[in-house]
């Protein structure tokens, strides 16, 4: 049994310190509320930190929120929540100006913001800081945060469960990763900003922390979830033996890089008139088809025709990383392969981050605002975290729920301590199974088998564990099962979800979100009108 500590009290508990969590914290703290930001690792470690390409917003005089809206809707495959998209594109420029006022250094030419273009955008509207935009935004928000006394960081504290009383969340339970004890925190609101879950897949651009923890917290508490089958596979991850699947930003193609197959041929014209700048789902599937035809392990990204000084200056991190593996991208083609990158689905929210459980809010990749629909438009993710992190903060202040006066519920913290060597092997198995059966191309029978395999792995644990590595692996199982169930449920192909046994879009039956609630072992799917939020 693990020791349970005496509860702490605060106004707002934020799980996660990426762009959404930090922007929410700044907003609620500005209004006088006390905030705890809990992270299972160092506060700076988040998906935001690794975001390369940029942040999209209609800040150019020749652009408009209307254009940005239309591009987002087109990329989303017909199931974007239009109300949420309007909030994103209309609020976006304001939030960008705010970031600049905080000191964000976006690249400029002759004093003017340098805007680049990425797949499925009609205009250049991507602001960037070299190829480390997320790192720059994280730096600025962290710098802003450290000067605010009513924000308290709590590192190495992993959120594991919501504290619920009378159909309302009144706090959460945190696993103290270092002390291996459980800390209950009583609060007016819990904000889920834990990021994504790319590590559920064998091939992933995400850091090791991205195991879907916040999604599983919501899933197991019976909150409404949406669109988990829509997993975006980034077309271009570095594909070298013994090298991590390092992201090669879409902005490389935006600046003119070509995709070539094993024979040196540019192949994207066969699949889409936009060629390398087609939406990510189209490019990823095109690469998979080329690999099948040529029987090659990867295709190539070619920048050799671009100015070498421009490449080094525009993509300093990518240039240095590739060079560390003996690859000079100014002279050599880069071997690339698709990898899991972003989950469009998550905890269902309204346009102010409210979830289906009173007292719980969510923003960023853990949430499903409906902005991305079936396929995220490039560089909309950082903007979504910024806009809806702010909006969730406004909602928390407005709602100002009372603090509970009760003691926390008693948790059964006994668990089967599976040997860590076995846990690590199971973790690899889960990611391999998910990649093979629930990757870029899917079919019903393999998805059914995947679900059964995950049940078998779950049985080895027996019950939920209370130790970080084991808990992350448990979370991968729970989220993997939910993704598989959603992929089985949607018997069509749309956006990032492609079923070879149902290869066509079916608007009559499926032009809607996939919404479900987990109760016990059952996944109860709910049919709602497309634009109905909760």
DSSP annotation string for 128-149:
-STT-HHHHHHHHHHHHHHT-T
Q: What is the mean pLDDT of residues 404-431?
A: 92
Bridge-based pairing state of the strands 346-348 and 367-368: parallel
Determine the Cα angle at 450 with ends 445 and 455, to 5°.
Answer: 130
pLDDT grade for 531, boundaries at 50, 70 and 90? very low
Catalytic-role residue among 95, 199, 280, 391: 280
With a CB cutoff of 8 Å and minimum separation 6, the contacts of 511 are 78, 79, 530
Number of H helices, E strands in the chain: 15, 22
Question: What was the pLDDT predicted at 534?
Answer: 40
What pTM value is reported for the model?
0.93
130 pLDDT band (50/70/90 cuts)?
Answer: confident
What torsion, rounded to 10 degrees, do the Cα atoms 155, 159, 164, 167 define?
110
Q: Which whole-number Å values give the CA distances from 105 to 61, 226, 462, in the listed order? A: 20, 35, 50
CA distance 21 to 26: 9
- For a pLDDT cut of 90, what percent of the chain falls above it? 86
CA distance 96 to 54: 12
Q: Give Cβ neighbours of residue 30 (< 8 Å, ≥ 6 apart).
A: 148
- Mean pLDDT along residues 89-110: 96
CA distance 171 to 189: 7
Q: Calculate mean pLDDT across residues 111-118.
A: 90
Q: Residues near 503 by Cβ (< 8 Å), separated by ≥ 6?
A: 493
522 SS3 class: strand
Q: What is the mean pLDDT of the chain?
A: 94
Q: Is-contact 222 267, C-beta < 8 A?
A: no
**What integer pLDDT is reported at residue 47 of this predicted model?**
63
pLDDT at 44: 67
pLDDT band at 119 (very low <50, low <70, confident <90, very high): confident
* Mean pLDDT score, 114-124: 88
- In sequence order, the 6+-apart residues with CB closer than 8 A to the CB of 456 are none
**Could you read off the pLDDT of 289-303 as tens digits, one per residue?**
999 999 999 999 999
Is 532 a residue whose pLDDT tops 60? no
Mean pLDDT, residues 187-193 taken together: 98
What pLDDT does residue 51 have?
A: 64
Q: What are phi and psi of 69, to 5 degrees?
A: -60, -50
Which range is least confidently modeled, 332-346, 398-412, 456-470, 513-527?
398-412
Which whole number is the average pLDDT over 46-67? 85
Q: What is the pLDDT of residue 410?
A: 83
Kindly state the tokens that stand for 169. Answer: 């969340």
Domains of the chain: 8-222+356-399 (3.50.50.60), 234-339 (3.90.700.10), 420-526 (1.20.58.100)
User: Looking at residue 249, what is its pLDDT?
Assistant: 87
Is 509 catalytic? The answer is no
SS3 for 531? coil
- Residue 445 has which token pair? 């029978």
The string of pLDDT tens digits covering residues 202-239 is 999 998 999 999 999 999 999 999 999 999 999 999 99
Mean pLDDT value across residues 172-178: 95
Distances in Å between the alpha carbon of 207 and those of 49, 203, 204, 232, 316? 9, 11, 8, 16, 20
């Amino acid at each position: 049994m693990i020791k349970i500590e005496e509860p702490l009290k605060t106004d707002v508990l934020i799980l996660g310190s990426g762009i959404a969590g930090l922007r929410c914290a700044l907003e609620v703290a500005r209004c006088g509320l006390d905030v705890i930001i809990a992270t299972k690792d160092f506060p700076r470690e988040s998906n935001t930190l690794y975001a390369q390409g940029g942040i999209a917003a209609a800040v150019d005089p020749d652009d408009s929120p209307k254009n940005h809206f239309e591009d987002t809707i087109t990329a989303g495959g017909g199931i974007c929540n239009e109300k949420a998209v309007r909030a994103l594109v209309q609020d976006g420029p304001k939030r960008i100006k705010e970031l600049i006022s905080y000191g964000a250094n976006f690249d400029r030419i002759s004093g003017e913001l340098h805007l680049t273009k990425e797949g499925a955008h009609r205009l250049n509207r991507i602001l960037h800081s070299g190829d480390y935009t997320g790192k720059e935004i994280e730096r600025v928000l962290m710098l802003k945060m450290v000067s605010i006394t009513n924000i308290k960081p709590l590192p190495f504290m992993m959120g594991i469960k919501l504290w619920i009383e009378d159909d309302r969340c009144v706090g959460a339970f945190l696993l103290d990763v270092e002390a291996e004890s459980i800390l209950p925190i009583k609060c007016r609101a819990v904000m889920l900003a834990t990021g994504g879950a790319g590590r559920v897949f064998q091939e992933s651009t995400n850091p090791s922390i991205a195991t879907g923890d916040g999604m599983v917290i919501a899933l197991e508490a019976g909150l409404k979830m949406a669109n988990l089958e829509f997993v975006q596979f980034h077309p271009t991850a570095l594909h070298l033996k013994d090298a991590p699947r390092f992201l090669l930003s879409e902005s490389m193609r935006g600046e003119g890089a070509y995709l070539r197959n094993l024979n040196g041929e540019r192949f994207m014209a066969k699949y889409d008139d936009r060629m390398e700048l087609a939406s990510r789902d189209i490019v990823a599937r095109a690469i998979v088809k080329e690999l099948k035809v040529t029987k090659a392990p990867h295709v190539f990204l070619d920048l050799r025709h671009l100015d070498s000084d421009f490449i080094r200056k525009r993509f300093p991190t990518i240039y240095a990383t590739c060079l560390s593996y003996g690859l000079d991208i100014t002279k050599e083609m880069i071997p690339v392969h698709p990898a899991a990158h972003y989950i469009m689905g998550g905890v269902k929210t309204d346009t102010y981050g409210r979830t289906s459980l009173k007292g719980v809010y969510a923003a960023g990749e853990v949430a499903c605002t409906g902005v991305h629909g079936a396929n995220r438009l490039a560089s909309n993710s950082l903007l979504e975290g910024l806009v809806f992190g702010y909006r969730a903060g406004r909602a928390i202040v407005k709602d100002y729920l009372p603090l509970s006066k009760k003691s926390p519920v008693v948790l059964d913290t006994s668990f089967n301590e599976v040997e860590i060597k076995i846990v690590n092997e199971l973790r690899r198995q889960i990611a391999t199974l998910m990649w093979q059966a629930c990757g870029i191309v899917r079919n019903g029978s393999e998805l059914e088998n995947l679900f059964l395999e995950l049940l078998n792995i779950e049985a080895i644990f027996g019950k939920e564990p209370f130790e970080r590595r084991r808990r992350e692996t448990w979370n991968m199982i729970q989220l993997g099962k939910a993704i598989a169930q959603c992929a089985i449920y949607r018997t069509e192909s749309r956006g990032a979800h492609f079923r070879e046994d149902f290869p066509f879009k079916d608007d009559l039956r499926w032009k809607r979100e996939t919404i479900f609630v987990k109760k016990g072992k059952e996944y109860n799917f709910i049919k709602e009108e497309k634009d109905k939020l909760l």
